[in-house]
Amino acid sequence: MTPLPQNTTCIYKKSKRKFLGDEISRIRKEEGSSSCVVFSIEKSSQDDIGLDVNLPYYRQLFEANDVLRGSMVKRNSEYSPNVAHVAVHIRRGDLRGHITKSDRSYEAKVREAEKRLVKVSAYTSVLNQLLRKLAELGKDEVHVRLFCEGMEPPARVPNVKNWRLVDFREDIIFNASMQNVTFHVGSNDALQALEEMCFSDIFITGTSGFGHFTSILCKTPVILAVPFWRSYDYIPNAMTLDVVRGATSLPVLGVKSARLINITSFNETAFDKLWQKRSCCAED
């Protein structure tokens, strides 16, 4: 709805959301960087329609029921300027059975795996970056709470190659200036898990509707979002992670090779802006 500059000649294109990135890249090559293109998105997701308008109301309703829920994990009494709480949601659970459904073709299994599965290294890579950033912000104590079906305490989570448990901590680089990084298992009760994610300082999402739902309702954490087919564009305290994909063998799923997300990172300038807003308004 933004007015265009006067005397602007634009190309008008229709596109589906999943092809938009490829369309933009192609047009940049063909038309040059100075061209104007207006995209009409066909069949917008129901999750996106009205989210930018209704999100404040969703959050107000959620917060209005704060007393009824009990807010068991609010940490106001535990607040310390040198402590940070990080929630990480790793989607596993029933995905193995979902991807290997008997009626799926091999190609469909590959597509589902690429859409839903994120390697453990994708989470540890962004967490290592985040720990360095938190040290710069004066946080010398970090509590990391992992939410992952099938995990064992304190930090053993299923990998995607063969669904065996691996220690999440093995790939964490402990910064010398951050002496105390502890790992905890998040609640397996849905409501309590939502509370723990909501009242964290930073929430790293997975490819999960539960994480997206939490991001819509909760204004407290800075949200680092793994790219998902539901948009985070209208969530003011969220930023979508940059990702690198790599070919991965998934023998337990009967997939020889799938291009899975194996490295994630965030723009630190954008993170600083979100963190400043959070520090300013977290207690409002």
Give the model confidence (pLDDT) of 157-185 as tens digits.
999 999 999 999 999 987 655 568 999 99
Tell the burial category of 30 from Cβ atoms under 10 Å away from its Cβ (0-12, 13-18, 19+). exposed
Q: What is the pLDDT of residue 176?
A: 53
The strand ranges marked E within 54-163 are: 83-89, 141-147, 156-158
Report residue 220's pLDDT band, with 50, 70 and 90 as the boundaries: confident
Question: Cβ atoms within 10 A of the Cβ of 115, count?
Answer: 13
For 222-259, the pLDDT digits (tens) are 999 999 888 898 899 999 999 999 999 999 999 999 99
For 29-83, the pLDDT digits (tens) are 676 555 577 777 666 555 556 666 678 877 887 777 665 555 544 554 356 788 9
* Rounded CA separation 99/113 (Å): 6
- Reported pTM: 0.78
Question: Would you say the C-alpha torsion 149, 65, 212, 203 has a positive or negative sign?
Answer: negative
Element (H or E) spanning 239, and its range? Answer: strand 238-240
Report residue 102's pLDDT band, with 50, 70 and 90 as the boundaries: confident
Q: What is the pLDDT of residue 106?
A: 93
DSSP 39-73: EEEES--TTTTTHHHHHHHHHHHHHHTHHHH--TT
Mean pLDDT over all residues of the chain? 84
pLDDT higher than 50, residue 1: no
DSSP 152: B
Q: What is the pLDDT of residue 76?
A: 42
Q: How far is CA 80 from CA 9, 141, 192, 220, in A?
A: 55, 10, 23, 16
Q: What is the pLDDT of residue 110?
A: 94
Helix orientation angle between 268-281 and 120-136, rounded to the nearest 10 degrees: 60
Report residue 142's pLDDT band, with 50, 70 and 90 as the boundaries: very high
Domain locations in the chain? 10-42, 51-281
CATH tag for 51-281 (out of 1.20.1050, 2.60.40, 3.40.50, 3.30.70):
3.40.50
Which residue, chain included where needed, has tokens 């192609």?
A: 26
Element (H or E) spanning 181, and its range? Answer: strand 180-185
Q: How far is CA 23 from CA 4, 14, 34, 39, 244, in A?
A: 21, 10, 16, 10, 20
For the ranges 54-68, 139-153, 265-279, which has the lowest average pLDDT?
Answer: 54-68
pLDDT above 90: percentage of residues in the chain: 53
* Rounded CA separation 58/61 (Å): 5
Identify which of 67, 52, 106 has the alpha carbon closest to the alpha carbon of residue 216: 52
Q: What is the pLDDT of residue 144?
A: 95
Q: What is the pLDDT of residue 145?
A: 96
